[in-house]
Amino acid sequence: MKHVISIYSLFQPGIVIASPSTTNPDYLYTWTRDSSLVFKAIIDQFTSGQDPSLRTLIDEFVSAEGILQQVSNPSGTVSSGGLGEPKFNIDETAFTGSWGRPQRGQWCGCFIMSFYIELKGLVADGPALRSIAIISYANWLIANGNSSWVTGTLWPVIELDLNYVASNWNQTTFDLWEEVSSSSFFTTAVQHRALREGSALATQIGQTSAISNYNTQADNTLCFLQSYWNPTGAYITANTGGGRSGKDANTVLTSIHTFDSAAGCDATTFQPCSDKALSNLKVYVDAFRSIYGINSGISSTAAVATGRYPEDSYYNGNPWYLATFAVAEQLYDALIVWNAQGSLDVTSISLDFFRQFSASVAVGTYASSTSTFQTLTAAISNFADGFIVENAKYTPSDGGLSEQYDKNSGTPLSAVDLTWSYASALTVFEARSGFTSPSWGAKGLVVSSSCSGNTGGGGSTVAVTFNVDATTVFGENIYITGSVDALQNWSPDTALLLSSANYPIWSITVNLPASTTVQYKYIRKFNGAVTWESDPNDQITTPSSGTFIENDIWR
């Protein structure tokens, strides 16, 4: 009891702790990502009228996040990348210890300094998710006649995050699990949503100065979002780097956290019932059928426990409660839309998904009055319930939800009482009951034929990886800028930060126009000073397709 009291004496109002676990693993921190996802669920409960008592908690959350935004940390200050810091101490101070999950064996004490520099401005889903949560609250306040609170209290917090997203969306970032430094489907999708909602809110309250930029960057992120689709494998590749298959809970979590029932089964934003999201769901689930002992003997068309990604080695790679719940939630969201619109579409892309439930189903549109619609939706509803049952099998009698459960025995593992696990249970049961959040503006969006400053989607592009051997001192970073939009048109202010994961090699992957001669230079930034590489400019000519790797040495 004394230990518990000592922990919670540090706990500040509005701070969400990831878990009370302090050893194996130590999760007694507050992650911007986790906190925002949790409070989005709480805000939805409040604004929908389910629990009016939650308002005080929400105000405390906004206040706490406003404080954390201003805390200088190893990623920088509020104006120099600090908003990208993933986690903080629960007393609202900066976390300054070593970083990285246990399986990242390359992180040793000698690289701690460079690892922090690598994080600067690169963990970009937190600001997006935080702004999404607070915008939901802001919209409710405006609808209930309290615009002044929005303008005076909420907007300053929201605006900082939106400006960060607008400026950094096309830089290399760490993925949802903070393991892979590349571009991440989840991050791009929530950044897109944040910018759309931010533009709409800014319009409502007369904050017009940034609207044009938010809209432009929202178009660019939507364009880039399309590049994650893998047409050959018929699934969404979660990350553009990392050396994995790309089959990842990241993609399922994206569909449920960017769900907009007004958008129907739109594939442009990968809505839960879109053909691409459904095909991806099948590929993702099937990836876990044979690698977990507890899934042995389960039918190939029945629910199973799922984890983060099949190559996972964290705690030896196991099912996660929140990942398994997410599968069910995507299916419930899909059922909500199909029932509301009175029909469902089977396309060539989603055909394999639907044939799990009816082997004879063919491509076509099925009205709710047809037996095919009724057969499919009933089977999919039972399928969704099965994933909840899988989690229930391995939930202890006290109802406690850890982070994971053992892939062979089902014993709960890793952090106990993971807050995100509980939030995922809350949202999956709400989806099962038919609950939907207000629309965020996904309906009718169209991908631009060309996108400025993006890394893929409009026009022909190729993924170019720039590697440069550059020795740095603590606090010094390596950036790149060049002659095309994707390299920021020679701007040192918006130059792209390279990753130091393989220090002294700094790396970044950028999608550049195909069959194009591109000039570029690396620059150093240290204590506000900018140092350019010596002349002449570096130059490459990109291929017509595929990928390209350029290895350089700092001059």
Catalytic residue numbers? 175, 178
Whose tokens are 């999404």? That residue is: 132
> Burial, 534: exposed, middle or buried (Cβ in 10 Å; 0-12, 13-18, 19+)?
exposed
What residue type is 523 in one-letter code?
A: I
CB 520 within 8 A of CB 435: no
The CA dihedral of 28, 34, 38, 40, to the nearest 10 degrees, is 150
- Token digits for 527? 């204590």
Token pair recorded at residue 204: 């409502």
d(CA 438, CA 457): 28
- 420 annotated binding-site participant: no
With H, G, I as helix, E, B as strand and everything else as coil, classify residue 337: helix
CA dihedral (183, 189, 190, 195) positive or negative: positive
How many other CB atoms are there within 10 angstroms of residue 50's CB atom? 11
Q: What DSSP designation does 25 have?
A: S
Amino acid letter, residue 552: D
Rama region for 459: left / alpha / beta (φ>0; ψ in -120 to 50; rest): left
178-211 burial string, b = 16+ CB within 10 Å, else e? bbbbbbbbbbbbbbbbbbbbbbbbbeebebeebe
C-alpha span between 504 and 486 (Å, rounded): 24
Rounded to whole angstroms, the Cα distance separating 209 from 195 reads 14
Q: Are 90 and 137 within 8 A, CB to CB?
A: no
Q: For residue 553, give both structure tokens.
A: 């040495």
Q: Is 109 exposed, middle or buried (0-12, 13-18, 19+ CB in 10 A)?
A: exposed
HSE value, Cβ hemisphere, 13 Å, CA-based, for 353: 28
Contact at 8 Å (CB) between 48 and 451? no
Which residues are known binding-site members?
Answer: 99
User: Which residue numbers belong to the known binding site for substrate?
Assistant: 99
